[in-house]
Amino acid sequence: FWLNREPEYQVRLLSEWVADTRSRDPAVKKAALAALQAMDEQAVTHLAGSLNRDETVLERINRTIGDKIPRRFKQMASGLFDVQRTVDRKREAVHALIMMGTDAQEAVPALGRLLRDPNVLLSSLAGTALAEMGPAAVPELISALDEGDYSLRANACSALGKLRTNALPAAPHLASILWTDTGPILGSASYALSRVG
């Protein structure tokens, strides 16, 4: 508890402010963003750490032998056997980092690791977040272009395209993909290159 204690702002935990970033009420969303900006480095460090945190022991047990546990017991202990919890926690953290934008550049390495996650939704969200980090994310995205997985490379191309001229150092890598690769990655790379200029 003490090692992973969340930062607080105005007597509310970071996770409560992060949950408010998903609100439909613009005033609540605005207050949440102001709170995240006030917590600044503490918030970014904690959110980046939550992206690196893997599933808990109970979540791992549920994933491996969850189908053998009696349904009645799982209903009584539903909070312990919630498989989706890890993905939801990471998704919420990424959305908060997206809202913080370039103020959250410290999270670029953690987002780079999440970009390589086998979960397609998390990988795509990480690409979107990296695009919001500005030029600081370009080296991480360039290194992702050299890896073999199509969805990883496509997410990196999409993020580079969103960065536009800030991603100019990636232009030779994108051009190299057009010259040497085949398959659907060509469309992603050419679109990104056209946006980079």
DSSP state of 54: -
Span 11-30, mean pLDDT? 92
**Is the model's pLDDT at 70 over the cut of 60?**
yes
d(CA 97, CA 130): 9
Confidence of residue 64 (pLDDT cuts 50, 70, 90): low
Terminus-to-terminus CA distance in the chain, angstroms? 49
d(CA 105, CA 161): 18
**Is the model's pLDDT at 50 over the cut of 90?**
no
Of all helices (H) and strands (E), which one includes residue 29?
helix 26-52
Residues 88-121: pLDDT tens digits?
889 999 999 999 999 999 999 999 999 998 889 9
> In this predicted model, which residue has the larger pLDDT, 136 or 52?
136
Average pLDDT, the chain: 87
Angle at 151 (CA atoms; ends 84, 43), nearest 5 degrees = 50
d(CA 95, CA 20): 11
Joined together, the tokens standing for residue 58 give: 């109970």
Instruction: Tell me the Cα Rg of the chain.
Output: 19
Residues 155-178: pLDDT tens digits?
999 999 999 999 999 999 999 999
**Is the model's pLDDT at 67 over the cut of 70?**
no
Largest CA distance in the chain: 58
Confidence of residue 2 (pLDDT cuts 50, 70, 90): very low
Neighbours of 127 (CB within 10 A): 26
- Asked if 141 and 173 count as a contact pair (C-beta separation under 8 A), the reply is no
Span 72-95, mean pLDDT? 72
| Cα 191–chain centre separation | 22
d(CA 154, CA 6): 34
> In this predicted model, which residue has the larger pLDDT, 78 or 179?
179
Provide the pLDDT for residue 92.
92
